[in-house]
Amino acid sequence: MDFYSLTNYNESHLLVKAEEVFGYGEYIESWISERDYVKLYAYSDFYVEIIYDHATFSISDIKGLSIDQAVHKYVSITEFHNEMNGISFP
């Protein structure tokens, strides 16, 4: 199975990105904000955000994120450093 690279994925048409992530991605988590509903998937060697717009009830964007981008956006830096340094909490 050949996966898209992050660059090629982000340059693809919205429907192609949706087909790839729904067909081959692995669901991680979702959350709701006042403006939208976001689902996060793992795909190939990067992550994918699917953003649903509450106002239009449709997908407003699908974009691939590098691991670094996803860590900075979704992981507490303190918890990340603690995990990398082997510090655990009871």
Residue 28 lies in a domain: yes
Q: How far is CA 48 from CA 40, 42, 58, 66, 76, in A?
A: 6, 6, 17, 9, 19
Looking at the structure of the chain, the number of domains it has is 1
What pLDDT score was predicted for residue 88?
63
Residue 1 lies in a domain: no
Residue matched to tokens 């106002």: 55
According to DSSP, the residues that pair with 51 across neighbouring strands are 38, 61
What pLDDT score was predicted for residue 81?
77
What is the span of the domain harbouring residue 74? 6-84
CATH number at residue 28: 3.30.67
Instruction: Evaluate whether 59 touches 66 at the Cβ level (below 8 Å).
Output: no
Residue 15 lies in a domain: yes
Residue 59 lies in a domain: yes
| pLDDT category of residue 14 using cuts at 50, 70 and 90 | very high
Task: Find how far residue 72's CA is from the centre of its chain.
Answer: 12
Residue 26 lies in a domain: yes
Residue 45 lies in a domain: yes
DSSP 66: -
Residue 72 lies in a domain: yes
pTM for this predicted structure? 0.81
